[in-house]
A and B are shown apart, each in its own frame.
Chain A
Amino acid sequence: MNLPPMETGLLLAGILFMLGLLSVLIRRNILFMLMSVEIMLNAAGLAFIVAGARWEQPDGQVMFMFILAMAAAEVSVGLALILQIYHQLKTIDSDAASKMRQ
């Protein structure tokens, strides 16, 4: 069985990361921005897995697990912050939260 080439996997990771970055740049809904950050983290993890498969080392998979733990912690804190922003400002427009106090 052939391993898919490393360039293709890295290319896919780059495309996914670019889409996530684009979504962070163009969206104003703060929930969409959080989802885009998830896309970018996932793309970074994909690059780690591809590199780990290329060099046949377990370190890539270990790093992916750390990224997973980090994403879980980040999403829980981020969603709590979003709920708090929504209760304070009654909107999830990120521009409304540009000032620390209203």
Chain B
Amino acid sequence: MNIAFNIAAIVAIICTIMVVTRYNIMHALLYLVTSFMAVAVIFFTYGAPFIAALELIVYAGAIMVLMVFVIMMLNLGGESAGEEKKWLRPRVWVFPALLSLVLLAELIWLIYSGTYVSNKEIKIVNTKEVAMSLYGPYMLAVELSAMLLMAGIVGAYHLGRQRKKIIHRFLERSDR
């Protein structure tokens, strides 16, 4: 399990670095899908197979397909890569990279300075326990997230609607 974890962790980190550094958005998206798959393997090694399946279905499947559709609608791809290359100069990324490296070093120091007893045996928190907890004490949160999804649908419909301009053709502005 540890070997699988290490390999998946290295794949996830490399793929995420590729996402951050790519100029072509389609390539970045495909690397992101691979990164999500690697994270799903990591969930599996931590004894959460149902969550690994959810990660694949919802993140790597649904959300990424949505983004692919939007990229296809906007006709992005090869020609916007040059623009992206122009935007991503070393002068832009060096200082934020240093700042976030400082934050990461602080985080690593905090993680490794704590003392705790490691448990040796893997114990799969099975789906039944998760479901009992989800529909027991967390019932209100489930209902709230259903309302959030409903608001998301309504908001996406409202924002994505194309408004038809009904002004007279002689009064139409010509700068658009």
Contact = CB atoms under 8 A, between A and B. Distances in A.
A96 interface: no
Interface in B73-106: 73-74, 76, 80, 84, 87-88, 92-93, 96-97, 99-101, 103-104
Size range of the chain B interface in the assembly: 35 or more
Given A9-B46, A61-B130, A79-B67, A74 B152 contact: yes
Contacts of A23: 19-20
A50 B46 contact: yes
A77 B36 CA distance: 21
Interface in A64-91: 64-66, 68-77, 79-84, 86-87
A73 B58 CA distance: 12
Given A22-B97, A38-B32, A72 B5 contact: no
Given A38-B59, A42-B39, A68-B58, A58 B129 contact: yes
B23 to A, nearest CB: 10
Contacts of B45: 4
A36 B153 CA distance: 22
Contacts of B71: 31
A102 B82 CA distance: 25
Interface in A33-58: 34-36, 38-39, 42, 46, 49-50, 52-54, 56-58
B46 A15 contact: no
Contact of B16 (A20, A28, A70): A20
A65 B20 contact: no
B63 A26 contact: no
Interface in B1-41: 1-2, 5, 9, 12-13, 16-17, 19-20, 25, 28-29, 32, 35-36, 39
Given A3-B119, A4-B2, A58-B134, 15 more contacts: A3-B118, A12-B42, A16-B12, A18-B107, A19-B17, A22-B20, A29-B25, A49-B51, A58-B130, A64-B48, A66-B141, A68-B54, A73-B152, A77-B152, A83-B74
Complex A-B, nearest 8 residue pairs according to Cβ-Cβ distance, in ascending order: A73-B152, A80-B159, A25-B96, A4-B5, A80-B160, A26-B93, A53-B46, A76-B156
